[in-house]
Amino acid sequence: MSTPDIIDTLAGIKPGSALDTIRAKRLQARENAQKSYLSLFEPIDAGEVSLLERAAVAAFVTGLHGESPVATFYREKLVASAGGAALLEAIEAEIARGKTSGPYGSFPAGPLSAENTAGLIYRVSAASMPVLGTRLVAALEHAHLLVFRPRDAASTDMKALLAAGWSNTGIVTFSQLVAFLSFQVRVISGLRTLAAVNA
């Protein structure tokens, strides 16, 4: 059985509805978003990023964006993953620690420096480290950077992931996953708002 369109499902879009019609007009975008979800969360071969790591990062990233059907979905996906239930409490604690607003960070010296904004430099708590393990600790810290301080990302941040056991291929997959989740949260939020307005 094929996986139902994840954006339609989480946005509550019913076949034949006005939003279904709108999404059908951008069929390629709709199909590509679904293909991205499947390749990131239901891959034929998980490769260098385990399904558990994908689910844990997804629960963390979507939780940082606030409570929503998307956050609930990925929290449930984590619990359903082998070993995921044992991580849930630590992930939820880290979401609470990492909640902030953004984006913020510093631009290179120049005209845009006037827009520099200070904000939280997130680090996983000592209590969560043994539960999450080295790879997930590095992943959550880097995910927080990508979500809230993308302009501050530097080569040293990549080195921290490599030092924690992430390969170059794993880092690319991980970065794609975080980018997709941020896109997905915003699209679903917009579609749900549109549905409420047209209800």
The count of structural domains within the chain is 1
Tens digits of residue pLDDT in 91-113? 999 999 999 987 887 777 777 77
User: Is the per-residue pLDDT at 1 higher than 50?
Assistant: no
Residue 1 falls within a domain, yes or no? no
Question: Range of 82's domain?
Answer: 6-197
Reported confidence tier of residue 67, pLDDT bands at 50, 70, 90: confident
Reported confidence tier of residue 173, pLDDT bands at 50, 70, 90: very high
Residue 20 falls within a domain, yes or no? yes
Percent of the chain with pLDDT over 90: 65
Residue 181 falls within a domain, yes or no? yes
* pTM beyond 0.85: yes
DSSP string, 11-78: HTPPTTSHHHHHHHTTHHHHHHHHHHHHHHHS-S--TTS-HHHHHHHHHHHHHHT-SSHHHHHHHHHH
- Arithmetic mean of pLDDT, 19-30: 88
